[in-house]
Amino acid sequence: MNGVWVAPGRVNIIGEHTDYNGGYALPIALPQVVTCAAHATADGSVRVSSRQHPDEPVSQPISGLAAAEVAGWARYPLGVVHEYVRRGHRIPGVVLGLDGAVPVGAGLSSSAAVECSVAVALRDLFDLPVTAADLIDIGRAAENDYVGAATGTLDQSASVLCTAGHALFLDFHTGERTQVPFDLAAAGLELLVIDTDTPHQLADGGYARRRRECEQAAAALGVPSLREISDVRAVDRIDDPVVRRRARHIVTENARVLDVVEKLRQGRDPRAIGPVLTAGHASLRDDFEISTPQLDTAVTTALAAGAHGARMVGGGFGGSIIALTDAEHTREVARAVEKRFQEAGFTPPRTFVAVPSAGARRIS
């Protein structure tokens, strides 16, 4: 048996670092996908290859995945196979061929797209009894435990659950998942993604350190997670100034997600969410301290060129920004950022328009 599956990258409208704090987020799936061509074998091995890494095919016995010393891109798909097996699912052998169109290191969740494309392929190839929630957790476990990146489940949730034309409201405490209409074109708007070409590495320690600081903040406030705090004044009780700033970002970011969702559900002009996006960037820059000069420059330049709102997206320490623009001015905003990057001596950015797209699925 064989087939081809895809899973998309994502861009988060609002709600960064809230997932592992039991909070809220509002992602959309991108049209850019990772494609997984897969066929079943019976030889007890997993073989993976990538069009982006043509000289680095990897073959491993499935029984030895737990101890496999494989680094780099291949660890993500191998981690998914390992997680299926660890959970008791039988995989007699498989060949996986990957091709990724999601920019790597851009904060657009290329790793989750890999994980979810492989996860849905294995589910269908071997007729495994796993739910959407299982797929999300398998991807999360592969990234946390096999790769070593201490992420939450936002990226995998978006890659599996998003639908075309909608943003996905996620409540990571209750498990609520709601599709929120997100039709920017009808309002004459576009969501411009600007990849600053400053790749981030979530496994390098910065992300995990922020997660530990959030746990310290919750402990200092006597709550199981920062989701329990809705009044930002409560964070003033935290003695450590760094931990206090981390908590303030999470509490205010959760409020920003709820604000954006309410505006969209009320049918307000989407331009109204612009200032909320910009406030989110200031919080990530100042309180969570995960922005970079390139990200800050892209945001300030986009706003000066007429964007209604702009902010960095993803785990931070590099990656991309989004800018909410009038469709007729999108190219003008992109050119302004390109010009400013050239003046600053930065690597030229890459730009594209994000269109809310469908989640992971089989295509042939």
Catalytic residue from among 19, 155, 195, 287: 155
CB 209 within 8 A of CB 17: no
How far apart (Å, rounded) are the C-alpha atoms in residues 86 and 64?
A: 11
What is the CB neighbour count within 10 angstroms for residue 331?
Answer: 14
Cβ burial 140-152 (10 Å sphere, 16+ → b, else e): bbbbbebbebbbb
Closest among 194, 168, 186 to 260, alpha carbons compared: 168
From start to end of the chain, where are the E strands? 2-14, 24-40, 45-50, 53-61, 94-100, 166-171, 177-181, 189-195, 309-313, 320-326, 350-354, 361-362
Rounded CA separation 358/364 (Å): 16
Alpha helical stretches, state H, 50-92: 75-86
155 is an active site residue: yes
Residues identified as active-site: 155
